[in-house]
Amino acid sequence: MGDTRETPDECILYEKKPHGVVRCQCCCFYCTIQPGGVGHCGVRVNEQGKLKLLVYGRPSAVHVDPIEKKPLYHFFPGTECLSLGVVGCNYSCSFCQNYSLSMSMRDKQEAGADIEELAGHVKHQSRTMSPADIARYCEDANLGVAFTYNEPSIACEYWVDTIEALKERDGQHYVVYVSNGGFTAEQAELLSRTVDPRYFGLNIDVKGDQAFYKKLCKAPLQPVLDSVRRCHELGFHVEVTTLVIPGENDSEECLSMIAREVAAVSPNIVWHLSAFHPDYQMQDHKRTSLAILERARAIGEREGLRYIYLGNVHNDGSTRCAKCKAVVVERRGYGARVTQKLVVDGRKGTCVCGEPIPGVFGFE
């Protein structure tokens, strides 16, 4: 692992091999990259025996979003965060709803682009924004920061430096990863050394069973499940999302497996069940009905999960106490309001009935 970088765009998560070869330690593919070669993600490249990050300081999407849009419902509800994403991804999901960002590098790679051409594409598709720029913006606007839109773990060095820059500013800021979960134990360890775990929230996609991952993501399931457990054990706040696609991952067997795996880590982990809409390479599939999502929620409840929300449909997304059913966080669309039924003390939230509400509701 290259902890000493000569330039900011040199990666941390890699090891050097003989003859200028490098082995990336960023994601579950652990790419072995020849000199002049490119990793599976399209943004980590071997330049003369050093692994470089093409998207360092080059976000392609920058917006201020409500935290509920990530979605995170039990992590600073009602707040906003500066949300950033770059191009590239380590997965190849046929149903990707941000494919213009995530798949643009893959398309260039398949067309035979070399490093120079890939770097030119990144420059054309992005703006310049250093870690210090991001930290300054978050401080001035009193915002948290979310690394999202594409898979953040492929650009972890950019985000780690951003977290370090935030720590040098005044004020308190939370950090969010919206991830496919296919990152390594090495990356989780790096994050745990960098971020304050009390204020680090992740939404991790658990998309389906192994057959689903093989068919539609070209990636393995187990590293994702490992990430959910590992991040929970590290003290990070973890929520899980499943995009429910009719005919692909909506069977009782598949949904039960996901819910059972999540509940085995903790029954208090939030499960978001989102409706699919036709996109990218799956234009021929129908939208997910409310009835399918309600059935999925019933499966999750049967497996022991206590907080389940339906997304991309019109329904009540409010947070209710699992014991007395009082509304502790009221939601309308992406808007959220903590009600008088929730007593917030530092990070912790408790219903007026005395039931603890899992999550992070403020700074200590």
- Domains of the chain as residue ranges with CATH: 14-53 (no CATH), 61-315 (3.20.20.70), 316-364 (no CATH)
CB neighbours of 153 closer than 8 A, spacing ≥ 6? 26, 27, 90, 177, 179, 180, 182, 183, 187
pLDDT at 174 exceeding the cut of 60: yes
The reply to whether 31 sits in an annotated binding site is: no
User: For strand 22-24 and strand 32-33, is the pairing parallel, antiparallel, or unpaired?
Assistant: antiparallel
**pLDDT of amino acid 141:** 97
The reply to whether 89 sits in an annotated binding site is: yes
Do the beta carbons of residue 202 and residue 237 sit within 8 Å?
Answer: yes
pLDDT at 295 exceeding the cut of 90: yes
Query: Rounded CA gap, 33 and 11, in Å?
Result: 13
Chain centroid to CA 58: 18
Query: Rounded CA gap, 103 and 353, in Å?
Result: 48
pLDDT at 161 exceeding the cut of 90: yes
The band of 299, judged by pLDDT with boundaries at 50, 70 and 90, is very high
pLDDT at 343 exceeding the cut of 50: yes
CB neighbours of 155 closer than 8 A, spacing ≥ 6? 43, 53, 55, 56, 86, 88, 147
**pLDDT of amino acid 3:** 58
* Tokens standing for residue 102: 């995530």
**Nearest-CA neighbor of 139 among 172, 114, 163?**
172
Model pLDDT for residues 78-125, shown as the tens digit of each residue: 999 999 999 999 999 999 999 999 999 988 998 899 999 999 999 999
Model pLDDT for residues 228-254, shown as the tens digit of each residue: 999 999 999 999 999 999 999 999 999
Model pLDDT for residues 125-149, shown as the tens digit of each residue: 999 999 999 999 999 999 999 999 9
Amino acid at 243: L
**pLDDT of amino acid 330:** 98
**pLDDT of amino acid 170:** 85
Residues of the chain with pLDDT > 70, as a percent, come to: 99
The reply to whether 96 sits in an annotated binding site is: yes
**Nearest-CA neighbor of 176 among 111, 231, 114, 98?**
231
The band of 4, judged by pLDDT with boundaries at 50, 70 and 90, is confident
